[in-house]
Amino acid sequence: MSSSNRPLSPHLQVYKFPLTVKTSILHRITGLLLAFGLVVFVYWLTALATNTTAADKLRAWLLTVPGQILVYLWLLTFFYHFCNGIRHLFWDVGKGFTNEQAQRSAVAVLVASLLLTVLTFFLAS
């Protein structure tokens, strides 16, 4: 077979990912980000138990504007991963597999995670 008769596959620039694919990729990314955030959290707990000066320095940095942005982004990743995990639990029992239901649940997960993050921001203020 000559190379001119071979079918051409679309490149990633041509292919548009559906929302359900984007949410699946985002679920994996948020899992990784939560793991990195857990390292910071464990460091803070260890510093509280052993070196209060280091814990105070970390707390002081987390209260700055960049620190607060990082904390709320971490909360957003937590709430997204949590809500999407609930969505996966429904899938585990066989609910919500149609395209329309999967699309609606993807939007619901995004909205719920944003609302929970904003609610946490206002309750913490």
The verdict on whether residue 81 carries a ligand-binding annotation is: yes
Q: How many CB atoms lie within 10 A of CB 89?
A: 10
CA distance 46 to 50: 6
CA distance 4 to 19: 34
Question: Closest Cα to residue 83, out of 118, 119, 107, 100?
Answer: 107
Binding residues for heme: 81
Binding residues: 81
